């Protein structure tokens, strides 16, 4: 059984241009996803990108590179389209989809996910959230989710919710091509601590994640 990982790293981020190769604690951001994959039980590490600059960095870091068509790398292109492009181009049996915006990911979480594939069709990483009161937000009003304003459960009485942290997803090639989705069938989770679940989406996040890295 061949296990491959793919890191989707397009070059056209509007909020932070070329975010995936910006310096984070002495390394380009994509370094951390590549390192986690290379140190895990995956057999091949791939970067799918539309950017020659990102491709060069990925190659220097020892990853395989698949150039992605521009139409699969726009602001509104679903990740699933890029995953299907990868699945239709590269040979593998099990796919680990790693997002470069989760630089706190460590190899043992990936390995735990791969071991769970014996009992599941796909798995994803998440953290647990207990007893938080959530509100929905519209243009002109807000509303409590799953309760009324007269109900306020004690924190210890609240149910545990699983929150996707976006670090990685694992599925089989067969399931991906059939469902055209990163997860399908019987779905399992790998629980990561909240402190390892931060995603890098803004410049402020760089400072927060660097502080976490330096404290370890």
Digit-coded pLDDT (tens) for 96-140? 999 999 999 999 999 999 999 999 999 999 999 886 777 788 888
Q: What is the DSSP string of 58-117?
A: HHHTT-EEEEPPGGGSSTT--HHHHHHHHHTTS--SEEEEE-TT-TT--HHHHHHHHHHT
**Domain range spanning residue 70?**
3-126+163-215
Asked whether residue 102 is assigned to any structural domain, the reply reads yes
5 phi and psi angles, rounded to 5 deg: -110, 155
Asked whether residue 44 is assigned to any structural domain, the reply reads yes
CATH number at residue 22: 3.90.550.10
Task: Give residue 136's pLDDT.
Answer: 87
**Is residue 44 within 8 Å of residue 2, measured between CB atoms?**
yes
- Does residue 14 surpass a pLDDT of 80? no
**Coil vs helix vs strand at 202:** coil
- Does residue 156 surpass a pLDDT of 70? no
Least confident among 116-120, 154-158, 182-186 = 154-158
Mean pLDDT of 47-56: 96
How many structural domains compose the chain?
A: 1
Asked whether residue 148 is assigned to any structural domain, the reply reads no
pTM of this structure:
0.89
Q: Catalytic site residue 152?
A: yes
Tokens of 201: 């989406």
Tokens of 59: 């190659």
For residue range 28-39, list pLDDT tens digits in order: 999 999 999 999
Distance of CA 5 to the CA centre of its chain: 11
- Pick the catalytic residue from 152, 178, 182, 214: 152
Mean pLDDT of 186-202: 94
For residues 67 and 51, what is the distance between their CA atoms, to the nearest angstrom?
A: 8
Asked whether residue 96 is assigned to any structural domain, the reply reads yes
**Is residue 189 within 8 Å of residue 169, measured between CB atoms?**
no
């Amino acid at each position: 059984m061949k296990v491959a990982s793919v890191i989707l790293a397009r070059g056209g981020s509007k909020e932070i241009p070329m975010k995936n190769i910006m310096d984070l604690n002495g390394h380009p951001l994509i370094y951390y996803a590549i390192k986690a994959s290379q140190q895990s039980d995956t057999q091949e590490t791939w970067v799918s990108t539309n950017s020659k600059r990102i491709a060069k960095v990925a190659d220097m870091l020892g990853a395989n590179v698949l150039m992605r068509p521009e139409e699969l790398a726009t602001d509104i292109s679903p990740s699933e389209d890029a995953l299907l492009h990868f699945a239709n181009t590269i040979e593998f049996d099990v796919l680990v989809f790693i997002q470069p915006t989760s630089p706190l990911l460590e190899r043992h979480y990936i390995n735990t996910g791969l071991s769970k594939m014996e009992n599941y069709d796909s798995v994803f990483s998440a953290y647990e959230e207990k007893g938080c009161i959530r509100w929905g937000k519209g243009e002109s009003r807000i509303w409590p989710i799953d309760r009324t304003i007269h109900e306020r459960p004690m924190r210890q009485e609240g149910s545990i919710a699983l929150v996707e942290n976006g670090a990685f997803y694992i599925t089989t090639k067969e399931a991906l091509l059939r469902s055209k989705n990163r997860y399908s069938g019987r779905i399992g989770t790998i629980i990561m601590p909240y402190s390892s679940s931060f995603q890098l989406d803004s410049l402020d996040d760089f400072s927060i994640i660097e502080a976490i890295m330096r404290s370890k």
